[in-house]
Structure 1
Amino acid sequence: MSAPAAIYLDHAATAPLAPGVGSAMWRVLDGADANPSSAHAPGRAAAAAIDAAAEALAALIGAPPEALVWTSGATESINLALKGAVGFAGGGHVVSVVTEHHATLDTLDVLERGGTRVTRLGVDGEGRIDLEALDAAIADEATLVSVMHVNNETGVIQDIPAIGALCAARGVPLHVDAAQSLGRERIDVAAMNIALLSMSAHKIGGPKGIGALYVRRRPRLGLAAQIHGGGQQGGLRSGTLAGHQIAGFGAAADHARAVREAEQPRLAALRDRLAQRLSAIDGVTRNGSGAHVAAPFLNVSVAGVHGDALLTGLTEGVPALAVASGAACSAAKGQSSYVLRAMGRSPREAGASVRFSLGAATDVAAVDAAAARFAEEVARLRALASAA
């Protein structure tokens, strides 16, 4: 007899395809998969499918469709935003945050080695930056600010409207990593004074391998291209566009916009239910308060257990829980969470942390089963430790 399916609580890593995404992709593959740069009728049909997807994604962030640059994902979008802005300006001073995704942190390291000045702001115990410290850093001849909207490990939300206002007041462009906030938090690039916005499809139920970068058009923001070739997308990102993936991104954006107002409160209630059950376990500490955490996220540290043993027990036990310890990129590098360490957690607390991220298929039964399985595994590991 096969083991029961895992309880999937890792939507921050990848969300399963949303309704309508697969069919939207197949329609392009089956009938509009010509090169969208071609002038003939099949090419125009392919371009029309891409234009429709651009309208759907643009509506989700309050942007004009022509302000989007299609990329392979948020990582490429972040690279284009940071390297492009610095390259166009010929250097400068970039202000960011120590808890950013590695796509940002590693890119900043590369830029710094090339002579760009980089300031990395710390965070408080809740994972939020100090706005006065940010303003002081901006005042120190900053040329670009880059801040993640929703943290990929903890779900902590940075105050992007306030950050955008500070940047606008000093005339400094703001880049926002919206990989985890797209479709979950309200985003209005104009109202929030966002100049550059990085996005990824597979976090909102779209296909993997496709993302986008919003680039402000007024006042126009200069970027140095990072991929050269045929001059597509205004020369900012050359290469033939993957129409079927873009169509899937557009369908996912349409679905996210349609369900967000009802879905995010539902997920917040389920998240709080899970948090309440886990908090009843002795030695479980929540990382990030609910007031400043996006609805699908819950990150906890567990005292008295080894982090690797806990994750293995949860992901390999019955029922298995598809959860994460920190971010997938940190896990691949064998590191404890630098995000939690920056929030003041000890290396042991950061190492014995679990991230739950909920999604469309999550219901009360899944939450309760996950809580029971978690409590069972913690008790088992503590019993083994006390017997050793």
Structure 2
Amino acid sequence: MSSTPPPPYGQSPLRAVQVLGGGSAGSSAHVRSLTAGLVARGVRVTVCAPAELESAYDFADVGADVVTVPRRSDPVSVAALRAACAGADIVHAHGLHAAVRTAFALSGRAAATRRPGPQGPHAGRGGRVPLVVTWHTRAHAEGPRSHVVRLMERSAARAAAVVLGTSSDLVDRARSRGARDARLAPVTVPAPRPSEDFRESKARAELGAVERPLLMAVGSLVPYRGYDVLLDASRAWRDLDPAPLVTIAGEGRERAALQRRIEAEDLPVRLLGRRDDISELLAAADVAVLPSRWEARSVLAQEALRAGVPLVATRVGGIPELVGDAAEFVPYGDPQALARTVLGLLADPDRRAVLAEEGRRQAATWPTEDETVAQVLSVYDELTGQS
């Protein structure tokens, strides 16, 4: 692990603990980027995450101490999380499950006989370790489960000194759940640009779209992503010659049901499973499609705009705020509108070129990684008395 630079504060280094639970691609990539930026500014960072996230994102490589904590709330996992936070100046949980578990660990309720742990030299108000929570997205639940999620959101919002929401509607949601201080904190996820050579040959050949239009969707195969609507829309072009091919990268509990539909209805759709080359595959696409019921700062939308890939998206959640005018919008749950818009774009290269340019221009307005780190560090300084 690389050594940490001297702190810029003229005192002992600030110690920050980052906590991940399940960790979406966006939140995990953000924590890696945030960790690298904090370490570069002299902050000592510990990342608590499940082993599979450390394997995928290698937080140690950017200077973090890593503590493996499974995504569970059993006494052993909570005790491990509490021990990792001992002596911290600030604790930052990412996502709802991580926030609830971290608040529980910091409260000490799970261990009534526990002695008070050591406090860091920059401890917050009242000697308590401040908890910052970032809501990258929101949990999607229906029926009795939705009540449980509301209770979890309320618990996380009220336990946090500051809740950072990645979109304005998440900030509003945190306030409605009782957050004392909720702020907008847009997160920009790094997205490497593949070479044009790869775009025009290897990826399209692998996907079977050398001589046919290619549509790309990315995200877990769960109901709120709207893939059932996308499959409905694909009926409108399955008899064209050549038929546009829809590729969906991601895994989830809906995979079997979607695959059955694809085969039974002979739809021009391929499920790619989990991929680690999303940027390359996306850059090969003619159009990116985001048919979700709700999104915050969609990773797909960010990567599509940066790569100059025209985007068709539902006007939901934080998407309009993120992409501005650099996308074609459709109502959620309307397969006819989705099909009409996709086919219209495929038939209009000039419009695709305009969207590609507007997308790159919109992406240039997003905060940089450095600006994101600076905003988070300013919150840490405020809560630990450094500002």
Compute the TM-score of the two structures, normalised by the length of structure 2: 0.25
Compute the TM-score of the two structures, normalised by the length of structure 1: 0.25
**Which one scores higher on RCO, CA 8 angstroms, separation ≥ 6?**
1
